[in-house]
Structure 1
Amino acid sequence: MTPTEGFTFDFRPGAIRVGAGCVARLGDELDRLGYDRAMLVSGRTVGRTDAVVDPIREGLGDRLVAEFPETTPEKTLGTALDGLETARDHDVDVAVAVGGGSTLDVAKVLGALSSHDDARATAERAIETGDLSVSDGGEPLPIVAVPTTLAGADLSDLAGVTLTLDRGTELDGADAGSSGEGPPSGGVSDPRLMPEALFYDSDLYRTTPTSVLTASAMNGFDKGIEALYSPLATPITDGTAARGLRLLRSGLGTLRAEPMNEARLREVLSGIVAVQYGLAGREGYRASIIHAFGHGFSHGYDVHQGTIHGVVAPHVLRYLFSEIDGRRDLLAEALGVDATGGPEATAGAVIQAVAGVRDDLGLPNRLRDIDGVDQSDFPDVAAAIHDDDLLAVAPDGLDPTPEAIVAILERAW
């Protein structure tokens, strides 16, 4: 979309804080919002890592009345339901979600369930129908987010979940990858699930394993790429995504340093906020084909989506530029590469810049180098990518067949 065509932009994030030690202000923010009984929601590792949770506990003070350190990468509906029961047992009025995308998704699903009088019946119905929503007449439990990864799932009002009440579900590649076995995935999206406040504390990011930071950073970086060529792009999201990409390219190198440079880390956090600002709005989600490829490996493969992104993004972009313009000049400007050599040279420079980010992050550059990925699975993976909701919002003129998707995967092999 160009400014002359007009646009719609409806995005309502909560208050955003970025900086070292900012979680010390959690209590002040809860006071401002009118909440005084918080539950800390986190993963089993994060929730038992004192370097992460102690500063949050101190920031919340006596407002912290319960902890639920039980989320897992499987992010099942049963986990969210158990978390809601814990919240209700302690009369909680706000969930403080700490960690990565899985924890934030569980917190949002917990919030959606909380809006229903009979949450268990709602969960059971979601398993039968595949549909989960916030009740029209209810209000979800509010969320305050404290991210510790860089995938960019924070400034968002949607969440994915595995539709099972079995919290112990393990979806490994042998059981669910190529065969398609295992519980299905579902999702929920509603503006009322947007976190009411977000705290990006660089001190907490220093506790996150480097491998998690680098893989998640690739995922977040690609959100900025996709926001620019999304059919739902606006001048506002163009500006935030482009600025975010510049900040990320400048700062990402510090993620592998010991110790990380504070100024560069602050650039990274500011960049992650910027690339996802407006990504999830009332008009739709502005991620697209690269993320659909990532989702193709998300159910049944024990691999971070960002690692998949690092391998496939250059190949997906090469396919994209072979079919459409893809706003390559704007991408080149955002990435700080030469756009004066003509369309093909510009496309090549963009692809090279994205591959360079992957290499700087130390991520694999071939699918064959990722444990658990099998070339024989490509037809099934391609089918999942083709059916992914985000492929429906690919740039105008881009409609890959399953065969074309397999060909991209083969080139990435």
Structure 2
Amino acid sequence: MSRRDGFRFEYDPGVLRFGSGSVDDLADELARQGFDRALLVCGSTVGNSPAVIDPVTEGLGDRLGGVFAETTTKKRLATAVEGTEAMDAHDADVLVALGGGSSLDVAKVISVLDAADRDPAAIGREFEERGTISIPSGSLAPIVAIPTTLAGADLSTVAGVTAAPDGGLVDAPTSGGVGDPRLMPGAIVYDPALVATTPKSILAASAMNGFDKGIETLYARTATPVTDATAMRGLGLLRDGLRRLGDEGPTEDVLEPVLEGTMVVQYGISRPGETTLSIVHAFGHGLTRSYDVQQGAAHGVVAPHVLRYLFEEVDGRRDLLADALGVGDAADRAEAIVDAVADVRDALDLPARLRDVDGPEPDEFPAVAEAILEDSFVANAPAGLEPTQEAIEAVLEDAY
């Protein structure tokens, strides 16, 4: 992208609150935004972990209406239906999503279903047919996000969701999502003390996903000078902070710059009608939608190989990337970038080969490559990069 290129940047993020102990002021934030009763949405592990949930319930105080601790990494549509019922039962007017991206995604779907006020069977039929759910006009139930991982799924207007026949809403396994500017959380609370309660292994895997958001934001076709600035600042914090996380483990001191970096790299990447997520995330989707591979682990395996392929084909704004990753003085900036990304992965002790995760075998690569090519994020690949089935399969083979 040349600096002579014009661009349009439309972005309306929620209120950002940052700092250890910031969840203590949740009731104040809800009051400022005019919310009275919150339904706290989280997974069962978080719901049964006093070190995580107690500071949040105490921070909400009298504004806590109830707790819905039923989300899972599958992000089931049936769970969102149950969440809508819980919202009605507790007379809640705001959803507070606590945990990883799964809880936030389910909360967004709950918000959509609450506004739709439709029969769950009809919603299931639509989702199976279209891979999405119609979002009515008017207001949606607001959301407050409290992330406890580093995936960077907070400042987003989209959510993924799946459905399976055992949930009673679809006849065949279905995956898809919803998206609308109204799904941007009204507030996002980043509390390093709370994130420090998350096990290192979970933080490490999620961190790779967040780290790659910054990488992709710099070379995506939808990049802007605004997102250049935020991505570079965030990557500068993450490149050292994630290595330190790998060495020292999750403490408030270690996590403060890491959480700040995660917040900054995602600022501006999810905008009405476009995103800066690109080909690495398309690979991640292709590997995780059909296989039992954690998203961050998939990113750790494929990101260096995808970047090497990308740099063989196009410039990929390697000068900006190299500066952001602290390797601007390298003779071969492309290879230095690949090495820097691999170094972060290795510092986080994530798998380096596709054969070491529960992913596809080589005879399945053609089907995976086809799914990757069909992913919408491929459209955001750098200008001049035109991925082919053969090229995608070659990247998977190198990663294996």
* TM class by smaller structure: over 0.9
Residue 399 of structure 1 and its aligned partner are, at CA, apart by 1.7
- Counterpart of 1:336, as a letter, is G
Deviations 1:146-194 (A, max 9, x none): 001111111000011113474499xxxxxxxxxxx95121111100000
Residue 372 of structure 1 and its aligned partner are, at CA, apart by 4.6
Most deviating of 255-264 and 76-85 = 255-264
CA contact (8 A) 2:164 2:172 kept: no
- Counterpart of 1:398, as a letter, is L
- Counterpart of 2:129, as a letter, is E
Distance 1:403 1:387, change over 3 A: same
Within-5 A mapping of 1:48-127: 48-118=48-118, 120=120, 121-127=122-128
Identical counterparts, % of pairs = 57
Residue 197 of structure 1 and its aligned partner are, at CA, apart by 0.4
Residue 45 of structure 1 and its aligned partner are, at CA, apart by 1.1
What secondary structure is seen at the aligned counterpart in 2 of 1:161? Answer: strand
Match of 2:353 in 1: 366
CA contact (8 A) 1:315 1:411 kept: yes
What secondary structure is seen at the aligned counterpart in 1 of 2:128? Answer: helix
Measure, in 2, the Cα distance between the counterparts of 1:113 and 1:397: 40
1:350 aligns with 2:337: yes
1:386 aligns with 2:376: no
Measure, in 2, the Cα distance between the counterparts of 1:315 and 1:144: 36
- Counterpart of 1:271, as a letter, is G
Aligned-CA RMSD value: 1.8
Deviations 1:207-235 (A, max 9, x none): 21211100110110000000000111000
CA contact (8 A) 2:149 2:198 kept: yes
CA contact (8 A) 2:302 2:396 kept: yes
1:407 aligns with 2:398: no
Match of 1:284 in 2: 274
- Counterpart of 1:278, as a letter, is G
1:270 aligns with 2:271: no
Match of 1:209 in 2: 199
Distance 1:262 1:129, change over 3 A: closer
- Counterpart of 1:393, as a letter, is N
1:191 aligns with 2:181: yes
What secondary structure is seen at the aligned counterpart in 2 of 1:5? Answer: coil
1:332 aligns with 2:319: no
Within-5 A mapping of 1:189-268: 189-257=179-247, 260-268=250-258
What secondary structure is seen at the aligned counterpart in 1 of 2:11? Answer: coil
Match of 1:31 in 2: 31
Residue 122 of structure 1 and its aligned partner are, at CA, apart by 3.3
Gaps of 5+ in 1: 170-180
Measure, in 2, the Cα distance between the counterparts of 1:49 and 1:40: 14
Distance 1:155 1:57, change over 3 A: same
Measure, in 2, the Cα distance between the counterparts of 1:271 and 1:14: 17
Residue 254 of structure 1 and its aligned partner are, at CA, apart by 3.2
Measure, in 2, the Cα distance between the counterparts of 1:257 and 1:51: 23
Residue 119 of structure 1 and its aligned partner are, at CA, apart by 5.2
Measure, in 1, the Cα distance between the counterparts of 2:341 and 2:308: 11
CA contact (8 A) 2:220 2:381 kept: yes
Distance 1:353 1:11, change over 3 A: same
- Counterpart of 1:357, as a letter, is V
CA contact (8 A) 1:9 1:283 kept: no
CA contact (8 A) 2:217 2:228 kept: yes
